Amino acid sequence: MPGRPRLLAVPARLGARRCGVRRARGRHWRRSERGVSSLELAILAPAILALIFMSIQTALWLYGRSVALNAAQEGVSRLRLVQPPVYTTAVGEKVRADIQSYAEQLGGTTLQNTSVPFPSYNNPEGIVSFTVTGDTVSLVPGLTLKVTRTATGPIEQFEADDK
């Protein structure tokens, strides 16, 4: 057939048949593609696993941030209802202890070493603020990802109706 080039076998003494090399008339040497997929997998598998671990670590970190913010917002919600004449440091400490327990319960093993400093209750400005800090779980040994979230809100002011 004049349209198709003929493949000629290279003599066996050159080892062409063993490694799958053939020579076409007037063309360059060709090699077979045996074992290429194993090589591709060996190169790509670590990269794919690293991407999977990074996405899981990112999700754990984002969840830890969410837990810390939720606990801080809960503290603000509880403390902003306390009227300035009723507020004492004992009330602030009770709410702080409740919020620390809430953050530990909500975070489970995801948010560790939670700490809730004493809340800020600023009567003249009418602002209450809570901060929750903790460490998220890490898939990489020795890596610590710290999370700090703060929530702030106005103190509710209840006034009698003027009738």
| Residue 98 confidence class, pLDDT cut points 50, 70, 90 | very high
Distance between terminal CA atoms of the chain?
110
Across all residues in the chain, what is the average pLDDT? 83
Q: Is the pLDDT of residue 19 over 70?
A: no
Q: What is the mean pLDDT of residues 33-44?
A: 80
What confidence score (pLDDT) does residue 56 get?
Answer: 94
15-24, 117-126, 144-153: least confidently modelled range? 15-24
Residue whose C-alpha is closest to residue 73's, from 156, 133, 149, 148: 149
Q: What is the mean pLDDT of residues 86-109?
A: 91
| Residue 27 confidence class, pLDDT cut points 50, 70, 90 | low
Count Cβ neighbours within 10 Å for each residue of 68-97 and write b for 16 or more, e otherwise. bbbbbbbbbebbbebeeeebeeeebeebbe
What confidence score (pLDDT) does residue 72 get?
Answer: 95
